[in-house]
Amino acid sequence: MTAAPKNDAAKNDTAPSLDALRTTLDGRWADVRQDVRSRMGSFRPASPDLSTEDYRARVLELVRELARTGRPHTGFAEEYGGKGDVGGVVVAFQALGYGDLSLLVKAGVQWGLFGGAVQVLGTSRHHDEYLRRIMDGELLGCFAMTETGHGSDVQHLRTTATYDPATREFVIDTPEPGARKDYIGNAARDGRMAVVFAQLVTGGTSHGVHAFLTPIRDDAGAPMPGIDIGDCGHKAGLNGVDNGRLTFDHVRVPREALLNRFADVAEDGTYSSSIDNENRRFFTMLGTLVRGRISVAGGAGSAAQKALAIAIRYGERRRQFSDPATGEEVVVLDYRAHQRKLLPALATTYALQFAQDDLVSQMHRLQSPGAGPVDEAAQRDLENRAAGLKAVGTWHATATIQTCREACGGAGYLSENLIPQLKADTDVFTTFEGDNTVLLQLVGKGIIADYGKRVGALGPLGTVRFAGAQVLGSVVERTGVNKLPSRLPGRGFAPRDRAQQRRLITDRAEHLLAGVARRLRPALKKGADQFGIFNAAQDHMLAAARAHVDALVLESFVDAIDRVADPAVKALLDTVCDLHALAVIERDRAWFLEHGRLTAAESRAVTGAVNDLCAELRPHARLLVDAFGIPEGWLACPILEDRAPTEADSEPVPSLVG
C-alpha cells in the first residue's frame, strides 16, 4: 500500500465541486444513497412533544411505508423477491440516521435482526414460510437475545429450550427472573414473533445457545399462552421503538422452530451439527449476525454527520464579539477555539465513513446469498473489525454530538434545533448491539490470538530478533530514551508526512499489543490465576484494541484517497486525513512522549500542525458537511433559518412512497 501523494491544491483556494466530493464519499453504493435521499428528502423527524404511544404508532406507519418502497427487500435472496444486496440494504438503513433514529432502529430490528437471523441462521423451511412476509412488513418480529441477568455474556444465557420427543416440540422456559428477555425492540407493542436465543437441551444434555422462532402474539395482538409481555416504558431516547420484556412459561414450539443452519435435532431427540466444537459453533452462529452491529456503527456515523452539519452551518452564521481592526462582529467558526472543537471531529467522521464503507464491503462479500460456506477466519476478522468500529464509532458520535451541542450554545439545547434528540437517541448506541468496553475486549482477544500465531511462525532466529526488539522497547519505557525512530531514516520529523503519521499510529498499536501479550503470557502456565492475570491487564488490553482500530481506520482513509481520480478531491481529502491522523496522535501524545516516540519539541509541532490544518480547512468546512448529502428537509430547524417559523413547518409528514 502506498501513501497518497501530496499536492498543493488544498493549500490554495482550489476546492473540488460538491458533486465530485459527494460522489467520492458516497462510494460503492452511491445509487442506494441517492435513492434514499430522493424517496425521503422531505421527511421530518418526529416532534419531541408526541406521546410515547403516538410516537410508536407513527414510526410503525413509517416502517410499513418503508416496506412498500421495496428498499428493505434488497438485502434478501432473489428467489424471495430480493436482490441479494446485503451491503446496499445496510447502507440504506444507515442513511435513515439522518432522519428519525427510532425509524432506523425499528427498521433494523425488523429486517436486520429479526429478518437477518431468519435468513442467515435458518434454512429453506424457514425461508419459504416466513421471509416474504418479513420483507413485506406483514410479519413483525423481535430479536430476543438480551436477558436481565446476561447481556454481553450471550454464551451463558439462562433461557432454556428443552426438546420433548413425545410431542416433537421444544419447551421454552424462563427458569428464573434473571433469564427474562429484556430491552427487546418490537416486543412491547407490535411484534408477533421472536427469534428467541436459548440453551438447547435434549436427552438431558445442553448443547449451548441456539435460536428458535417463537410466536409471541396471536393475530389479534394478544400474548400467546405462557408468554408474559412487559413494556420497558419511556426511555431517554428512541421512544418510537417499543422495547419490551418477554417471559416464557413452558411455551411449546414445534421441532421445526429451531433455526437449523448449523445444528438440528431429529424427531427422536438426536442432536447433530456440522460444527462439532460447541465454542466454535456458538461463535460461528453469532458471527453471522454481525449485520446489526455494523448497522449501529453506520447509524451513529449518520447522526454525527448531521450534528456537524448543523453546528458548522450555524458556526458560519452566528457572530460573537468584534474584531478591533474592523469593528465588525466575527462569525464564531473563524475563532481558533471553535475550529478546534468541530474540525478535528469532522476529519475523524470522514475517516470513520471510509472505514465503515470498507467494513460493509467486507460483510457483503462474505454474507451475500450464494457466498458459499462460512470462511471462519474471514468471518472472525469481520466480526473483530465490526466490534472495533462499532465501539470507536459510537463513542465518537456521542462525543461529537455533545461538542456540537456546546458549539451551538443555548440554541443547541432547544429541541426544535434537533441536536438534543440526536444526543438522546444515540446515547444508547454505546451499549446496545454490544457494550463498547466488552466489544473492545473482543477485539483485544482477537488481535492477541493473531499475534501469537505470527510470533510462533517466525522460527528460532525471528523469535530472537523479535524478543530483542521487545527488550529495546522496555528500555524506552523505563528511561524515556528513544532508540526506536519515529521517522524514516534520513528525514527530520514532519507532522504532515503521511508515512510518519502511519508509522507512529501503527507502532503504537504494535507496541501496546506486544506489551499486553507479554503480560498475559503467565496465564498459560499450569495452575495460573487466569482471571487475576487477565483482570490486571484489562486496561492495557483495551488500550491495545483501541490503538488497533485507530490504525485500521487510518488505513481505510489512506486507501480511499489512493482510489480518488479527481485531483481537487484528492487534495482536499489528503488535508482532511492529515487533520484526522494528527488529532489521533495529539490525543495520545502523552503515550508517544512517555515511550520515546516523540520529543517534547515534536509533540508541540503536532499541536501546531493541528492548528494550521484547522485554519486551512476552515474555508472548506461548509463544503465538507454538504458533501454528506443530508436532505435539507432533515436539517430544517430554526437555528439555520433566516425567518421565523410558520405553520408550514408543522405540516404532516409526507409519504415515503412515490
Active site residue 433: yes
Q: Measured between alpha carbons, how far is 413 from 396 in angstroms, rounded to an integer?
A: 20
Q: How far is CA 563 from CA 137, 352, 414, in A?
A: 39, 17, 41
Interstrand relation of 181-184 and 169-173 (parallel, antiparallel or unpaired): unpaired
Q: How far is CA 10 from CA 324, 344, 582, 620, in A?
A: 30, 16, 17, 9
User: Hey, what amino acid is at 613?
Assistant: L
Q: Measured between alpha carbons, how far is 572 from 15 in angstroms, rounded to an integer?
A: 7
Radius of gyration of the chain from its Cα atoms, rounded to whole angstroms? 26
Residue 261 DSSP one-character state: S
pLDDT at position 205, please?
94
Residue 207, C-alpha cell as written in the block? 448443547
Residue 33, C-alpha cell as written in the block? 444513497
Q: Is 351 helix (H, G, I), strand (E, B) or coil?
A: helix
Q: Minimal CA–CA distance to 389: which of 425, 428, 357, 345?
A: 357
Residues 6+ apart with CB under 8 A from 448: 513, 516, 517, 520, 541, 544
- DSSP per-residue codes, 439-483: HHHHHHHHHHHHHHHHHHTSHHHHHHHHHHHHHHHHHHHHH----
Beta-sheet strands, E only, within 165-204 = 169-173, 181-184, 193-202
Backbone angles phi, psi at 514, to 5 degrees: -60, -40
Q: Are 473 and 511 in contact (CB under 8 A)?
A: yes
Interstrand relation of 160-164 and 193-202 (parallel, antiparallel or unpaired): parallel
Sign of the torsion angle spanned by Cα atoms 617, 620, 622, 624 = negative
Residue 636, C-alpha cell as written in the block? 430544517
Q: Are 94 and 298 in contact (CB under 8 A)?
A: yes
Interstrand relation of 141-144 and 319-322 (parallel, antiparallel or unpaired): unpaired
Residues 6+ apart with CB under 8 A from 51: none
Q: Measured between alpha carbons, how far is 88 from 29 in angstroms, rounded to an integer?
A: 6
pLDDT at position 45, please?
61
Sign of the torsion angle spanned by Cα atoms 389, 395, 396, 398 = positive
Q: Are 163 and 210 in contact (CB under 8 A)?
A: no
pLDDT at position 486, please?
54
The residue from 383, 433, 555, 602 that is catalytic is 433
pLDDT at position 475, please?
46
Sign of the torsion angle spanned by Cα atoms 33, 38, 39, 42 = positive
Q: Measured between alpha carbons, how far is 391 from 285 in angstroms, rounded to an integer?
A: 21
Which ranges of the chain have pLDDT less than 50? 1-12, 458-472, 475-476, 479-484, 643-658
Residue-wise pLDDT for 405-443, tens only, equals 999 999 999 999 999 999 999 999 999 888 999 999 999
Residues 6+ apart with CB under 8 A from 564: 24, 570, 573
Q: What residues pair up with 564 in beta bridges, in sequence order? A: none
Q: Are 405 and 509 in contact (CB under 8 A)?
A: no
Q: Judging by beta carbons within 10 Å of its beta carbon (0-12, 13-18, 19+), is residue 221 exposed, middle or buried?
A: exposed
Q: Are 586 and 555 in contact (CB under 8 A)?
A: no
Q: Which domains does the chain have, with CATH numbers?
A: 141-280 (2.40.110.10), 290-477+493-639 (1.20.140.10)
